[in-house]
Amino acid sequence: MRFCSRCGFAMEGTMQLLAHGGILPVYQPLGEKTVSPRRRGVKQGALIILLGVLLVPILGVFSGYAPGRLSNVFEFFTAISALLCFLGGPLRMLFAAIFEEGAPSTHFTPPMSYKIPNAMPPASVSALPPAPAANPVSQWRRPDTGEMQPRASVTDSTTQLLDREPRHE
């Protein structure tokens, strides 16, 4: 049930309390989004590659127009930046994908000091209603409202009088 059948109270918070043994789970505020180290590393690798796409051609152009020894210096920095950016960027992405920690799980686990010995395991939050449970032990069943007929309106009897054809005597 999502709402109380008597008062309409939203039961989501109550379900969370029951699922976590009476302890409120810690929710992340909507404004703050934390980026996992894995995602940050992949972004850094992509940024290094893009930096190489910009830096290597610029240094190559400078090495073409620089006079004498300065040309050799620009060629050296062009080669070093190409190696670092086009080899280092993918390696950084690979390292992040393999070795760094991903996004945290969505399940709430209370700290060890708050653990309750016989508490229920944490429930996963779902946008869908829970699956229907098996029939309870008692034989009670929900009444079929399709069998019920609506009450007659006060005006039904008056309307039925108008539908009759008048008698001619």
Distance of CA 91 to the CA centre of its chain: 29
Number of domains in the chain: 1
Confidence of residue 10 (pLDDT cuts 50, 70, 90): confident
Would you say residue 100 has pLDDT above 70?
yes
Which range of residues forms the domain containing residue 62? 36-101
- Residue 152 within any structural domain of the chain: no
Q: Any bridge partners for residue 156, and if so which?
A: none
Rounded distance between C-alpha atoms, residue 109 and residue 122, angstroms: 7
Would you say residue 86 has pLDDT above 80?
yes
What's the whole-number average pLDDT of the chain?
Answer: 77
Rounded distance between C-alpha atoms, residue 35 and residue 45, angstroms: 15
- Residue 61 within any structural domain of the chain: yes
Q: Mean pLDDT lowest for which of 15-24, 116-125, 135-144? A: 116-125
Which pLDDT value is given to residue 102?
83
Confidence of residue 88 (pLDDT cuts 50, 70, 90): very high
- Residue 46 within any structural domain of the chain: yes
Confidence of residue 59 (pLDDT cuts 50, 70, 90): very high
- Residue 29 within any structural domain of the chain: no
Confidence of residue 126 (pLDDT cuts 50, 70, 90): low
- Residue 115 within any structural domain of the chain: no
- Residue 90 within any structural domain of the chain: yes
